[in-house]
Structure 1
């Protein structure tokens, strides 16, 4: 990992890591090596409880304060992470949906209804859902990851919104981000800070000053809502219009543009034919 970080630095690149299943490297180790982004806010629990990792036995699991997080332990680790200015992307919806196995978040919304038409994705989630023990173990981390995210942000650390969709189960593309904002608020973020985590703070973390803000010279991609999300974060789901590339769209417009299964298969075959033709030309 250290070699990867060093080589990335030569090319001006930052390194992101997922330490959920790590048994030998925790968040403090990775931060000291120069890793910048911590997906799923992973590796922090291992740093707090050195004897624990996700494949540990029940005794090790029982030593962790899952539902009454130890704020002192969290703060101790987060203060060190802050020294290295690491960025946390907690993907709370990924954990939450696994904790809610069998009773997941699935509001009555046209986008979610449309998602169920994607047979391959639904079948994937249904297959994964059979591994109940593994899913519930991952989901058990939800409350603790929420508190880690809140405390790190309260110290001045950068926490950004992400979902890892379609990983795990029922992380509905598009809608999962709205759920992520709800979970940020549940964790103790204000509605405004939750929105910032998905807009200007996320963009700034990517060194993109032209995204996530409304100002002259910025990319004018916006959504127009029917209600105020600062009063209720769920209002981010009440989208009246999408503005993209100087054009306005409604959800219905976008639904109509989604290719049928047959159209998608034809496009894929065309892509393969063109790829093989190009490959042959390059080989010749």
Structure 2
């Protein structure tokens, strides 16, 4: 047990900061002088894709738990102790043609019900916490997957951003419990919309104004079906606006410097390659979707629907592991929530889903005054271990060994 003395405890439940002694679970017995510092629960990224190469970047930005929304069982097992707690699913289930290509180490692409049910069995044997489905999944396959998953006490999460056939109402009626990116709700509000429509058709649809009554009807139905949403607003915003950060100072942060200098996790190469392919028509569509999802999120919160905070890092462009949680926290300032409520949503409420992680952050400045202060970390406590910020910065994974393992896993599938 670690005893942190005289620290400013950020009491999110009671919306106050109180000076007190706090005990943090640890493998070691230690006493720390917390005078002048702040202690808060660790952040939870409720939609992300962690890897052995990126794991330390979550801790370096104060994320002590991740909800991994798609990946590979063997690859996640390569992650060592310098990592947040991982609440994971693994290969996701898509239709044919697969949006990420044919079946591989990260996905099962099929229109065959029996193949999809075998994929659910695989996830259950791997002790996945939930099942993830993707945008080209067929209706009959989705219904069968939900039924099988329910029998195994696994909820189904759906990323239906690119669906042409299954809107949020249909997904909820089938029994889907999570809409990642708040996806397919726009499809329920604009029945003719999908991401593959022509520019002219998008221009027509984007001029339609959905009534408050219709928005309320759709969202009320989802709430009655106990659907949770993770809007990933920063993802939409970066796809629309490019490399513009909220706040701009993130670009000069310790965390961005570490990401820029990382020779193993070279995510900027990926982002630059994707960004170069995005044309003005695509960006205009993403800006429109961003505004739609903001309105959906605001109304869902108003109606007491379950909304969680996640980033989708490192997908799309300029959405970084750990660091982008600050951007996403700032996005939630749009929704009539104060700083305590936003931080509670990103910690206490999220941990009611993923389980208590005993994660805490000892930081140098008040996170309630400015979410960017979360990045000024002294020590991260997670999984019974403590990591000084400088130690996380210096930690390097064995890239050669990791690549060898990855090639073997890729060959297997």
How is 1:161-240 mapped onto 2 (pairs within 5 angstroms)?
Answer: 161-206=309-354, 208=355, 211=356, 219-240=357-378
Name 1:248's counterpart in structure 2: 386
Shift of 1:16: 0.4
How is 1:40-55 mapped onto 2 (pairs within 5 angstroms)?
Answer: 40-55=181-196
- Aligned equivalents of 1:68, 1:192: Cα separation in 2: 34
Query: Can you give the 5+ residue segments of structure 1 that lack an aligned partner in the other structure?
Result: 212-218, 280-284
Q: 1:273 to 1:53 in 2, by over 3 A?
A: closer
How is 1:25-104 mapped onto 2 (pairs within 5 angstroms)?
Answer: 25-64=166-205, 71-104=212-245
- Aligned equivalents of 1:23, 1:176: Cα separation in 2: 29
**Aligned partner of 2:252 among 104, 108, 127:** 108
- Aligned equivalents of 2:375, 2:209: Cα separation in 1: 31
Name 2:400's counterpart in structure 1: 265
Name 2:143's counterpart in structure 1: 2
Which structure is higher in RCO with an 8 Å CA cutoff and minimum separation 6? 2
Q: 1:268 to 1:58 in 2, by over 3 A?
A: closer
* CA deviation profile, 1:51-77 (whole Å, cap 9, x unmatched): 111112234423455898754432221
Alignment length (residue pairs): 263
More strand by share: 2
Judge conservation of contact 2:181–2:232 (CA < 8 Å) in 1.
yes
- Aligned equivalents of 2:257, 2:337: Cα separation in 1: 29
Shift of 1:15: 0.3
Q: 1:272 to 1:9 in 2, by over 3 A?
A: closer
- Aligned equivalents of 1:74, 1:16: Cα separation in 2: 22
Query: Can you give the 5+ residue segments of structure 2 that lack an aligned partner in the other structure?
Result: 1-141
Q: TM-score, normalised by structure 2?
A: 0.58
Residue 137 of structure 1 pairs with residue 307 of structure 2: no
Shift of 1:272: 6.9
Judge conservation of contact 1:66–1:144 (CA < 8 Å) in 2.
no
Q: Alpha carbon RMSD of aligned pairs, Å?
A: 2.7
Shift of 1:21: 0.5
